[in-house]
Chain A
Amino acid sequence: MTADQTTPEAPGPVVIEAESIVKRFGGATAVDDVSIAVRSGEIHGLVGENGAGKSTLMRILAGILTPDQGEVRVDGRPLTGGTRAALDAGIALVHQELSLVPELTTAENIMLGAFPTRLGFTNARQLRGVAATALREIGVSVDLDERVGRLSVALRQFVEIARAVARKPRVLILDEPTATLTPAETDYLLTMLQRLAEGGLAIIYISHRIPEIFRICDRVTVLRDGQLIGTTPIRATTPAALVDQMVGREYKLDLQIRRESTPGEVVLAARGVRAHRVHGVDLDVRAGEIVGLGGLVGAGRTELVRAMIGADIRTAGRVTVTAHGRTRSISSYQSAVRNGVAYVPEERRTDGLALTMSVAENIALPNRRRLATGGVLRRSRVSAFAQRLADSVGLRPPDIRKDAGDYSGGNQQKIVIAKWLGRNPKVIVLDEPTRGVDVGAKAEIHRLIRELADQGTAVLVVSSDLPELLELSDVIHVIRDGRIAGTLSGPEADERSVMSLAAGGGMVGKA
């Protein structure tokens, strides 16, 4: 495609510049002598494995963290004085984790910290006006008065971007903004960022998805273990070279051959499931089979799996789990877990992890029974067990005594996956299993999922990542508006067929 539409060699002057930044957490060095400079009109990619220090570096640019050494300069002037000063200097950060206030409205969230006031009173009309303008600028329509807690994850992501844009920033930093978006939404966002850059904005863009980097970035900086590996113009590198730089060794992007699967009997069966946003779904998952659920964000996939396993209320329908020749119906989440169902939720940071407990404790949590003798946890057994799982998902650094909350976003996801993988469940339901996980770990998690299936586990995967869905699944059900819009398997499943079913047969994505 025409990645060189803009002239990458001739962007504007340097707007923001960080020099020799060092940041330590306790003994560990998260960012080690890193320098980066971003020009006006440039989209600057930032890549690296989970825990490489990307988010930490960006938090320093945004004034949230103070560096132990080094200096951040905006227009040549040193930046000190925390968040407020950074905001005033025109630096806006869209966080990796959603950073919204659920009880405030869309408009209030967009204007958070910058409410227009008259004599201390918020000027409601102006507030809504500016928020509406920001939303219009990014071309997304959201009810301004809706509480943000009631919006879908994708909408919240766009609300955050609107908040950054509303500040009229000069530097816009996006930390993995597409992790929660569907291909169509991602495509939209990338186009929008190119448009903003053409308007002279300096953009720093973090993503684990290499194609995105190549599509919009002018230059790319690679971090590994907190160190700067290098900054290169995008035209001077290739995806393979970039990945090599990230992992520091030659990494084989081996194309997965589709698994030889010999599915057994039906283990998980759903009949006529209805729930909020789910309108009557029949679904079977067999032992040893990986069933994928595709579709757009908001199509009701998460709602469907949650209703199936009893995590949310079902208004109609019956779901059963069959094991050892006995069929049990699932009436509640407890009964699901009792009957061997494991569930890795979409909102892992909030639903899946005790952030102030150690990695080992987190992993041991759902596996207490088998790690205990006479009701007492055996420490040595817990650490051996946790260490094995932590290694198998590629936790970095693989220190299971650290608090889960001290790990980077992608590594926290690995911990949640690890804790459920350890259970050897009969049925495992994974909602977006590799969101925010780096390339190496992603392949690792895929391998683990396949292994589980090979051992006879029935696997149900929700994923907005099309290549992942296609690569993993034996059968793909595409969900649209709470119903199964179509079922694809074998060679008939490809990006086109899935997307056209997801979007209702009509045209989708870019021209």
Chain B
Amino acid sequence: MNSTPTLSLGPATTDRSARLRAALARRTEWRGLALLAVVVVATLSFEPLVFTAYPVTLGRVALIGLVALGLTAVILMGELDLSVASTLAVAGVVMASIPNVALGIVVALCAGLLIGLVNAFFVVKVGINSFIATLGMLFVLRGLAFVLSGEKPVRMADIEAGIAFGAPIIGPITPRVLIFVLVFIGLQIFVTKVRAGREFYAVGGNRQAARDAGIPVSRRLVTGFMLSGFVAALAGVINTMERTAADPTAGSTVLLASIAAAIIGGVALTGGRGSIVGTLVGALSLGIIEVGLTLSGVQVDVQQIFIGGVLLLAVITDPASFRAVVGNARSFLSGRRGETPA
């Protein structure tokens, strides 16, 4: 036949709309977006105040979301960092204990990096499962925050700086929201465009393949845990600045909320699947729900029931499991029909 040997294995999609459709089908954020749409519509009709008072909502989203963004980097590699909330508390206390604000911030952020390094040490060098290693760190760091603070809130020396920090800078945008947006952009670029970040997906998706391909898996894990620690410390710094005091109990609800945000946004706990955008979408949904419920006067305990429900709903409606659910239901029904004598 012809001279250039080629092998065709199924049609290559050439036409543009099919290509676009395929590209869209590849995204992992759909279920998060769908949920967000539902949440937005529901809140618009029941509690439009959420959007009128958007600075509050944005602040809440930034609170949940910031830690979740850093955590996503770790989850993408198929690991978990349960120490983020405690890191947040330690960083806050460390910062508030240092009279000079600038120095305090630097030391607190370095503490975050150091904590990430320690986590990575246990996971990479010692070989402990990250769930267990960071669970240990969760307790150690929380205890440390109490010891350092003498078990009570530490007031910042320079309260002026704190008050100035909390004020909006551009329109309603507070520094917290701005930092959140910057971290989002930075991480988004990191995992989509930067080589090391891209390789996070390989580390999480098929670690053996990553190793075999010569990817320095250990170094990537160290980077991931340090990122997560750094971002958590950053959240701690922001908290302290805004409140002009550091509370050793700070961030106790942050851990679960941030894991939930990532999962709602389509990030798989098994690693290798998900995106930073997804986590943003998840954080937006959660933030809006929380603020909406608070404004409607729903008790905090009841809010938790609600958020838990949303999380479960999000997981059930995951495209993969959703197909299975529908399929089971359908074959169940057709099976019933089939068993009636013909």
Contacts and interface: CB of A to CB of B under 8 A. Distances in A.
Interface of A: 62, 64, 83-84, 87, 93, 95, 99-104, 108, 112-115, 117, 120-122, 124, 139-143, 145-147, 152, 154-155, 158, 163, 185, 188, 191-192, 297-298, 310, 312-314, 318, 320, 328-332, 335, 511
Contacts of A87: 213-214
Q: Is the interface of B mostly helix, strand, loop or mixed?
A: helix
Nearest to A182: B9
27 contacts: A99-B213, A100-B209, A101-B209, A104-B201, A112-B202, A112-B209, A112-B210, A112-B215, A115-B199, A121-B195, A139-B4, A140-B6, A140-B7, A141-B6, A145-B19, A154-B9, A188-B5, A188-B7, A192-B5, A310-B331, A312-B327, A313-B323, A313-B331, A314-B334, A328-B339, A331-B332, A331-B338
Given A99-B208, A120-B194, A328-B339, A185 B7 contact: yes
Contacts of A329: 335, 338-339
Contacts of A83: 211-214
Contact of B212 (A93, A139, A158): A93
A108 B206 CA distance: 13
A141 B214 contact: no
Contacts of A143: 12-13, 22
Contacts of A158: 7, 9
Those 5 A-B pairs whose CB atoms lie nearest each other, nearest first: A331-B335, A113-B213, A329-B338, A313-B327, A101-B205
A122 B194 contact: yes
A115 B210 CA distance: 12
B8 interface: yes
A143 B20 CA distance: 12
B331 A141 contact: no
A298 B4 contact: no
A312 B323 CA distance: 10
A154 B7 CA distance: 11
A174 to B, nearest CB: 14
A113 B214 contact: yes
Nearest to A329: B338
Interface of B: 1, 4-10, 12-13, 19, 22-23, 26, 193-196, 198-199, 201-202, 205-206, 208-216, 272-273, 323, 326-328, 330-332, 334-336, 338-339
A310 B210 CA distance: 34
Nearest to B338: A329
A314 B13 CA distance: 25
Nearest to A120: B194
A143 B26 CA distance: 13
A191 B327 contact: no
A189 B195 CA distance: 31
A102 B332 CA distance: 31
A87 B211 CA distance: 12
Given A113-B213, A139-B7, A146-B26, 5 more contacts: A101-B202, A313-B327, A314-B331, A331-B332, A331-B334
B214 A114 contact: yes
Given A101-B272, A104-B201, A121-B193, A84 B214 contact: yes
A101 B9 contact: no
A278 B258 CA distance: 42
Contacts of A62: 212
Nearest to A195: B5
A312 B9 CA distance: 23
Contacts of B330: 313
A336 to B, nearest CB: 11
A15 to B, nearest CB: 20
A176 to B, nearest CB: 16
B338 A318 contact: yes
A102 B9 contact: no
B278 to A, nearest CB: 13
